[in-house]
Structure 1
Amino acid sequence: MRCRYDREIYSNPENGYCIFQYLTEEQVPEGAKNSFYKGNKTAFVAVGYHLPDGGVLEYELNGAWAKGRNGLQFAVEYYDDILPDTEDGIYQYLSSGAVKGIGPKTAEAIVNQFGTHTFEIFDTEPEKILSIKGITEKKLSVILTSYQEAHSRRELTMFLAPYQLGPGKIAKVQAAYGDRALEVVRSETYELCKVQGFS
């Protein structure tokens, strides 16, 4: 289900469970539509753990429709970010604070330089970002670390969601293993015993 975050209905900071409303242009079952929403998209409710709540990106929610107390809801198993592919969308994302070290002026300079190839540069030729005025090697390191951590943290969070681990424990796993965290959890689960709070 390709959609964009609209608003929070409920969230539990203890275990990360949340109920959010999203907007989509895709087909939604009649019993799942919010009839009070009057915009040009369809509003529906999704439930799950650590669901995305950023208004800048679109998301691909994966799961199934399930009957709840208030009608049909989309029970999310995992989700993927859909990075924008237009210059304006890329600017909005980079200037939103989603990537540490990039503010509105730097975001504008990056998009002016690389246009719609910006994320390709981030992924395959990040050294080219040093050509942007004000970006030193030290700053680039901060930017790339934030860019990569955001992606790996979302993957880890969704993988661990069924186990109802709180954000605190997930952050400890991320801190302990960095970019390898998801790989460790999937194939070397016993390693978690070395992380404080796991036994």
Structure 2
Amino acid sequence: MEAQEYLRLTGTVEHIVYQKEESGFTVLELASDGELITVVGEMPGVAEGEELVLTGTYVAHPTFGSQFRVSVYERQLPATAGAIYKYLAAGAIKGIGPALARRIVDRFGENTLDVMEKAPEQLCQVKGVSQRKAEEIAQEFKRIFGVRAVMLFLSKYQIHSSVCVRVWKKWAAMAVDVIRENPYVLCRADIGLDFDQADGIARSMDIAPDDPRRIAAGLQFVLSHNLGNGHTCLPAETLIKVAGTLLEVDRAALELGLEDLSRENELVVCSCGGRDFVFLPELYAAETYIAGRMALILSSYPDLGQTYDRQIDALQEQLGIVYESRQRKAITMALNNGVFILTGGPGTGKTTIINAIIELFEQRGDKVMLAAPTGRAAKRMSELTGRQSKTIHRLLEVDFRDGAGTVFKRDERNTLPADVIVVDEMSMVDTLLFQSLLRAMKLGCRLVMVGDTDQLPSVGPGNVLRDI
């Protein structure tokens, strides 16, 4: 297969067809050498009137035809009065529309952008621009230049533009100074740069291999990496061994780094069974919360040994079936306890038991809500129970906020209106999702968990069903 030939295009942005703020993905029309070219790629913040230098390839889209797909782009502010007017009139700077853009450019011409950057008070000479308005324009101009500065700074390290956007949203005008102070902050979960890339930046800044900043980042990276392997923590001995191989530094430096991170609450060291285990704070908090909340639910419903033979017999007659002794025992346990776990492989009668549990809870006047970790599992649960089932994310009303991870609208302050929650395929539920579910349960809500510990484990960290 032949390697793609990369080309360079220089031109002016004539029209922004589409732009997604979160990722920076943009479709625009570029005027280059008398031709209008459709350009696609991640170019956050690009506005009409800007001059761009693009590196990329031509591709053939099945619907939209020939397009220039950008791999690398450089931005240059417009230099002529006409280009500056188009840039401002397109809304590149918040607060300036076409009419005001015309008055400003008529007054300052090719010096317009210099005035905004270096002497914004002169904007008050333009009709309709108060001192407050001039300050707002100056602040917006600085913000835009801040994004450019971050992208220019990181571009020499071949950092993806989407990472640049997250960096700017995190630290704004301080971003470049923050990175120069400690390039390993780019490994944070909310920024998402790989440790090796951050390490390369650090080497270019002559940061020593045994620098405390590098050791701290390496320890945190090893823990974060192991979340993908399902681990919520690592034995301290294992962490130090793996980090030592990654960083190629001596054990004493790693132990000192771990002590510093623990003291600063960047990592949590917990002793259990004579061994030290190391957690990322978020995972330690989640496991601690789960243990405490489960204990609270269990203590709220002590099993008093109440029997439900009459209700189960009536249900048998209603449905025309006969429950085996183990099924009757399971149904009774579910009705007597605040937490009930039903496990077993395919064909063991779990569905029959769950339908009975749901029916008897509803006969008592309890509101039952059903959920599963995946859409497929939720659909199957609905088909088998004849009741609505949702994914756990949908049940908790997920709100994917850029830069803030997964956020749920349902929590302690906005609990679910359920007396009983039944969760199927529990083996696929990870620690953080289970914590979110428990936080959304009102006090007194019961929990029924169904699953098979031999089935697929969760994608995220933790093996909740097996551990419980």
Per the TM superposition, whether the score is higher than 0.5 is: yes
Match of 2:10 in 1: 2
| Residue pairs, 1:66-145, within 5 angstroms | 75-86=70-81, 88-145=82-139
Once the two structures are overlaid, the 10-residue window that deviates more, 118-127 or 12-21, is 12-21
TM-score normalised by L of structure 2:
0.31
Q: Does structure 2 conserve the Cα–Cα contact (< 8 Å) formed by 1:47 and 1:75?
A: yes
CA 1:137–1:190 in 2, change beyond 3 Å: closer, same or farther? farther
**Structure 1 residue 68, shift from structure 2 partner:** 5.9
CA 1:126–1:181 in 2, change beyond 3 Å: closer, same or farther? same
**Structure 1 residue 179, shift from structure 2 partner:** 1.9
For residues 35-71 of structure 1, give each alpha carbon's deviation from its aligned partner in whole angstroms, at most 9, with x where no partner exists.
Answer: xxxxxx245565643267533322222x3x5586789
Residue 50, structure 1, aligned to residue 58, structure 2: no
Match of 1:24 in 2: 32
Question: What letter is aligned with 2:142?
Answer: Q
Q: 2-side partners of 1:176 and 1:123: how far apart? A: 23
Secondary structure of residue in 1 paired with 2:141: helix
**Structure 1 residue 99, shift from structure 2 partner:** 0.8
Identical counterparts, % of pairs: 22
Question: What letter is aligned with 1:57?
Answer: E
Secondary structure of residue in 2 paired with 1:55: coil
Q: Does structure 2 conserve the Cα–Cα contact (< 8 Å) formed by 1:57 and 1:84?
A: no
CA 1:195–1:111 in 2, change beyond 3 Å: closer, same or farther? farther
For residues 125-155 of structure 1, give each alpha carbon's deviation from its aligned partner in whole angstroms, at most 9, with x where no partner exists.
Answer: 2221122233233222210111121222144
Q: Does structure 2 conserve the Cα–Cα contact (< 8 Å) formed by 1:7 and 1:22?
A: yes
Report 1 or 2 for greater relative contact order, CA contacts < 8 Å, sequence distance ≥ 6: 1
Structure of greater Rg: 2
CA RMSD of aligned residues (A): 4.0
Secondary structure of residue in 2 paired with 1:115: helix
Q: Does structure 1 conserve the Cα–Cα contact (< 8 Å) formed by 2:17 and 2:28?
A: yes
Once the two structures are overlaid, the 10-residue window that deviates more, 49-58 or 96-105, is 49-58
**Structure 1 residue 8, shift from structure 2 partner:** 8.1
Question: What letter is aligned with 1:177?
Answer: W
TM-score normalised by L of structure 1:
0.63
CA 1:113–1:19 in 2, change beyond 3 Å: closer, same or farther? closer
For residues 65-84 of structure 1, give each alpha carbon's deviation from its aligned partner in whole angstroms, at most 9, with x where no partner exists.
Answer: 55867899565323112314
CA 1:24–1:174 in 2, change beyond 3 Å: closer, same or farther? same
Secondary structure of residue in 1 paired with 2:31: strand
The count of corresponding residues between Structure 1 and Structure 2 is: 179
> What runs of 5+ residues in structure 2 fail to find an aligned partner?
1-8, 193-223, 225-468
1:146 to 94, 115, 140: 140
Once the two structures are overlaid, the 10-residue window that deviates more, 152-161 or 170-179, is 152-161
For residues 161-198 of structure 1, give each alpha carbon's deviation from its aligned partner in whole angstroms, at most 9, with x where no partner exists.
Answer: 955474xx655532442223234335532344678565
Question: What letter is aligned with 1:78?
Answer: Y
Q: 2-side partners of 1:9 and 1:110: how far apart? A: 26
Question: What letter is aligned with 1:4?
Answer: T
Residue 59, structure 1, aligned to residue 67, structure 2: no
For residues 82-137 of structure 1, give each alpha carbon's deviation from its aligned partner in whole angstroms, at most 9, with x where no partner exists.
Answer: 31412x33222222211112223322222232222212212222221122233233
Q: 2-side partners of 1:100 and 1:19: how far apart? A: 21
Secondary structure of residue in 1 paired with 2:93: coil
Q: 1-side partners of 2:83 and 2:118: how far apart? A: 20
> What runs of 5+ residues in structure 1 fail to find an aligned partner?
26-40
Secondary structure of residue in 2 paired with 1:97: coil
Q: Does structure 2 conserve the Cα–Cα contact (< 8 Å) formed by 1:6 and 1:22?
A: yes
- More strand, by proportion: 1
Q: 2-side partners of 1:144 and 1:109: how far apart? A: 17
Q: 1-side partners of 2:111 and 2:149: how far apart? A: 23
